[in-house]
Amino acid sequence: MAEKVVYVRAPRRERTEKIDIGVFIDSALAAAAIAIIYFVGWPLAQKFLKGDLKLPEFKLPDIKLPTIGGGGAAPTNGGTGNGGGGGGAPSPGKVVYTSASWGPSRNPESGPSNSKFGNQDPQDKNFMASHAGAGCSFKIGGGVLTLGGDRCRAYLVGNNYNSMMEWSGMFVDGKGDFSMRLRSRHNEGGAPANRFGGYGCSIEPNGKGGFAREDYHNVHNWSTGDKWQIVSGTKGQWFKARFAVQDQGSGVTCSLWILEGNSWVLKARATDPKPNPWAHNRSLIDKYSYSWIRTNGGGKIAVKDLRITEIGPL
């Protein structure tokens, strides 16, 4: 007898898995991105490749960066004597005076005897030794002038109005200062207007310096004081300097640079805002004027490679 087959349905399995909503959202976003690329990005890319699509121009704004280091004139801040900073020295022009007669072929020897108003060096008619103090000595040779004593100076004859003095200097014993002068008619006679003392710079043995105007003998009505650190002041070491006097509008500007490496660095600058009328008397100064090197305090200084040149106004 055949067996009777009975089919029994298995009980229905309950679905217990839950749908991950994060996966669903990610899938939806991916699908949307593909759709945007296909329906929007691809047509734009085709236009761009064909040159039919023009992109908007983008222009960077103008940005002015601050200048670092030298180049250009430093501000003078009116006539207060506050200056310094960057600023390349002007290029030398026509030579007014040079220390060529000091050597190097000339053997070191005592310089000319000095007097109250200057005695001429036998080998340089434009070099005049003078003194106003005691113990002055002048020694010239090997390209070097050694100047010692109190208020001892060498007048360098050569007309100078807008001009620049360049020299190498040394504090020999750390006692005497450097007192350099331009645009001077100090020793001429007559009224004060005929004997303008000129504009000077000083560098003290401690390396500090400044500027002053001498209206006539021993009368100073504008001075900055020795407020700037110009050099280290170390005795026995050479430094190279440039001192300039230039008209600037109705004023007169004094500047002092030191050579550091291969660059002239502006160490001090000040403008005399109200010079007396004869400070601007160019016809008289161009007729006859001189500069000078002087030391005060009884010490010794040395100078070499000196030249005075014409330059323009500021």
Is the pLDDT reported for residue 105 higher than 60?
A: yes
> Distances in Å between the alpha carbon of 217 and those of 18, 154, 171, 186, 202?
108, 16, 26, 6, 17
Is the pLDDT reported for residue 67 higher than 80?
A: no
49 C-beta neighbours (distance < 10 Å), count = 9
Q: Is residue 196 part of a domain?
A: yes
Mean pLDDT of the chain: 80
Q: Within 13 Å and on the Cβ side, how many CA atoms surround 119?
A: 12
Binning pLDDT at 50, 70 and 90, where does residue 79 land? very low
Q: Is residue 138 part of a domain?
A: yes
Q: Are residues 122 and 262 in the same domain?
A: yes
Q: Are residues 120 and 187 in the same domain?
A: yes
Give the strand pairing for 263-272 and 144-148: unpaired
Q: Is residue 16 part of a domain?
A: no
Q: Is residue 288 part of a domain?
A: yes
Q: What is the pLDDT of residues 86-95, one digit of tens each?
A: 467 888 899 9
Mean pLDDT throughout 211-229?
Answer: 94
Question: How many structural domains comprise the chain?
Answer: 2
CATH code of the domain containing 298: 2.60.120.560
Q: Are residues 159 and 285 in the same domain?
A: yes
Query: What is the domain range of residue 277?
Result: 95-310
Most confident of 3-7, 120-124, 150-154, 226-230: 226-230
Q: What is the pLDDT of residues 147-206, one digit of tens each?
A: 998 888 899 999 999 999 999 999 999 999 999 999 999 989 899 999 999 999 999 999
Single pTM value for the model: 0.71
Q: Is residue 13 part of a domain?
A: no
Q: Is residue 299 part of a domain?
A: yes
Single-letter amino acid code for the residue at 70: G
How many angstroms separate the CA atoms of 289 and 287, rounded?
7
Q: Is residue 37 part of a domain?
A: yes
Look at residues 219, 246, 243, 248 and name the one whose alpha carbon lies nearest to residue 231: 243
Q: Are residues 119 and 249 in the same domain?
A: yes
Q: Are residues 38 and 112 in the same domain?
A: no
Q: Are residues 164 and 32 in the same domain?
A: no
DSSP state of 264: E
- Matching residue, tokens 């087959």: 5
Q: Are residues 32 and 114 in the same domain?
A: no
Q: Are residues 106 and 208 in the same domain?
A: yes
C-beta of residue 252 within 8 angstroms of C-beta of residue 285: no
Q: Are residues 157 and 31 in the same domain?
A: no
Q: What is the pLDDT of residues 291-306, one digit of tens each?
A: 999 999 889 999 999 9
